[in-house]
Amino acid sequence: MALLDQKNNNVSITVFILCCVHTIMTRKENGWQEHREDFQRIPELAINPLGDRIINAFFPEGEDQVNFRGFMRTLAHFRPIEDNEKSKDQNGPEPLNSRSNKLHFAFRLYDLDKDDKISRDELLQVLRMMVGVNISDEQLGSIADRTIQEADQDGDSAISFAEFVKVLEKVDVEQKMSIRFLH
């Protein structure tokens, strides 16, 4: 979801898919239930500072396993949007990989306590995961404040989903939160 060069992207996409498929294949004997450890073995997720959050997103609340359908349902968020789909499915149900769903998926990664708002504390946690100990807490705090100040429109010093959407309006989420597979 960011700006690293293309070469890496394409390589890792295949790796990611292979890992997913591999995970699926290896877990057959367990009756198509995915466990947390399986996810943690995927390098993309192990490295990602938000990896735990993404893994959590795969699991229904309070459970430690996910069945294949749930797994695919979550994974579907990463499917790229295709041009023909955009025009066709106007009146059908909204597909899982639509822009707003992708955004909502991303939003939930940040919204820990599920109150539909990203608060300052939640931002601070994410920041600490992303930059580690290289920046002082004070500065991290100021970054979080600035972020909220930028995005916040209704003055509740938290970022709601609508504000989140507004912020990422110009970011190409359709492409960035996508994985190409099967082709």
Partner 1 sequence: KEDKEEDESKEEDNGSQQNRASRRKNYQRRNGDGKKAREERSQKKGRGKTAPNKDQKESENKEKKTTKRGKEGENKQKKDRKNSISSSSNSSDEESLSEEELAMLKEQVEQKKKLISTMRNKPWRMVKKLSVLREAQDFVEKFEGALGKGKGKKLYAYKMMMAKKWVKFKRDFENFKTQCIPWEMKIKEVESHFGSSVASYFIFLRWMYGVNLVLFGLIFGLVIIPEVLMGMPYGSLPRKTVPRAEQATAMDFSVLWDFEGYIKYSALFYGYYNNQRTIGWLKYRLPMAYFMVGISVFGYSLMVVIRSMARNANESTTDGDDDNFIFSWKMFTSWDYLIGNPETADNKFASITTSFKESIVDEQESNKDENIHLRRFLRVLANVLIICCLCGSGYLIYFVVKRSQTFSKMQNVGWYERNEVEIVMSLLGMFCPPLFETIAALENYHPRIGLKWQLGRIFALFLGNLYTFLLALMDDVNEKLAEEDVVKNITHWTLLGHHNSSAGNDSTVTPPPLDPADVPRGPCWETTVGIEFVRLTVSDILVTYITILVGDFIRACFVRFVNYCWCWDLEAGFPSYAEFDISGNVLGLVFNQGMIWMGSFYAPGLVGINVLRLLTSMYFQCWAVMSSNVPHARVFKASKSNNFYMGLVLLILFLSLLPVAYTIMSLPPSFDCGPFSGKKRMYDVIQETIELDFPLFVAKIFSYVANPGLIIPAILLMVLTIYYLNAVSKAYQRANAELKKKMQMQREEEKNKRNNKASTNPMLQDLEDLLTPSTKTESPPKQAEDKKTESQNGTSPVGKPGRGEFLAGSPMAGGRGAAFTPPSQVFVTQPRTLGARAPHPGQPRPWGHPLGPVPGRGRGQPCYPRAAR
Q: Report the site for partner 1 in 9-68 (rule: CB under 8 A).
A: 9-13, 15-16, 21, 24, 28-29, 31-32, 43-44, 47-50, 54, 60-61, 67-68
Q: Which of 8, 37, 62, 83 binds partner 1 (CB under 8 A)?
A: 8
Total binding residues toward partner 1, as defined by CB under 8 A: 94
Task: Determine how many CB atoms are found less than 10 A away from the CB of residue 47.
Answer: 9
Q: How far is the CB of 178 from partner 1 (least distance, A)?
A: 10
Q: Which of 36, 56, 125, 179 binds partner 1 (CB under 8 A)?
A: 179
Q: How far is the CB of 40 from partner 1 (least distance, A)?
A: 13
C-beta of 13 vs 112, nearer to partner 1 = 13
What is the 3 state secondary structure string of the chain? CCCCCHHHHHHHHHHHHHHHHHHHHHCHHHCCEEEHHHHHCCHHHHHCCCHHHHHHHHCCCCCCEEEHHHHHHHHHHHCCCCHHHHHHCCCCCCCCCCHHHHHHHHHHHHCCCCCCEECHHHHHHHHHHHHCCCCCHHHHHHHHHHHHHHHCCCCCCCEEHHHHHHHHHHCCHHHHCCCCCCC
Q: How far is the CB of 125 from partner 1 (least distance, A)?
A: 11
Site string for partner 1, 100-139 (x = CB under 8 A): xx--x-x---x----xxx-----x--xx--xxx-xx---x
C-beta of 9 vs 40, nearer to partner 1 = 9
